[in-house]
Amino acid sequence: MGLVPADRPGLHAVRADLRVLDVWNDTGYCTKAYDGLYQAQSAATNPAKRQQIVYQMQQMVASAKPYLVLDFPDAIEAHSTAWADLPLIAGISWNSMSKIPFESVHQAG
């Protein structure tokens, strides 16, 4: 099962076990090495040690490339000094998938 620590949402490990239902493994990726690392990070009590194991797991999945990206949607981003207080989400500005209100946006000046 996936594990996302509340204090570090970017630190993410996914269980790659096809025998378990309701896991975050939509590609079917499964290796004994990855499963061993998953068990090790689950048992790690030292946050720094766990982080290193999870990074190793993420690198393993990135190298294996189990996802086939079929499409990158077109995106356009424009900026103008004529407008102020555009909300940011995670440090980036609004895009077509944003669900943020625009009550704070106003013309500059």
Are residues 60 and 27 located together in one domain of the fold? yes
Per-residue burial over 58-96, b if 16 or more Cβ lie within 10 Å, else e, is eeebeeeeeeeeeeeeeeeeeeeeeeeeeeeeeeeeeee
Please tell me whether residues 63 and 85 are part of one structural domain. no
64 and 104 in a single domain? The answer is: no
pLDDT of residue 65: 86
Same domain? For 64 and 49 the reply is yes
**Do residues 51 and 83 both lie within one domain?**
no
pLDDT at 36: 93
The answer on 24 and 65 residing in a single domain is yes
Say if residue 2 is in the same domain as residue 44: yes
- Please indicate, yes or no, whether the overall pTM of this predicted structure exceeds 0.85: no
Question: Could you tell me the residue range of the domain that residue 51 belongs to?
Answer: 1-70
Residue 9 pLDDT: 45
One digit per residue, pLDDT tens: the chain, 109 residues?
A: 344 445 544 455 555 544 555 556 677 788 899 889 989 998 999 999 999 999 999 899 889 988 777 777 777 666 788 888 877 777 777 666 666 677 777 888 8
Go through 15-51 and write b for each residue having 16 or more CB atoms within 10 A of its CB, e for each that does not: bbeeeeeeeebeeebeeeebeebbeebeeeeeeeebe
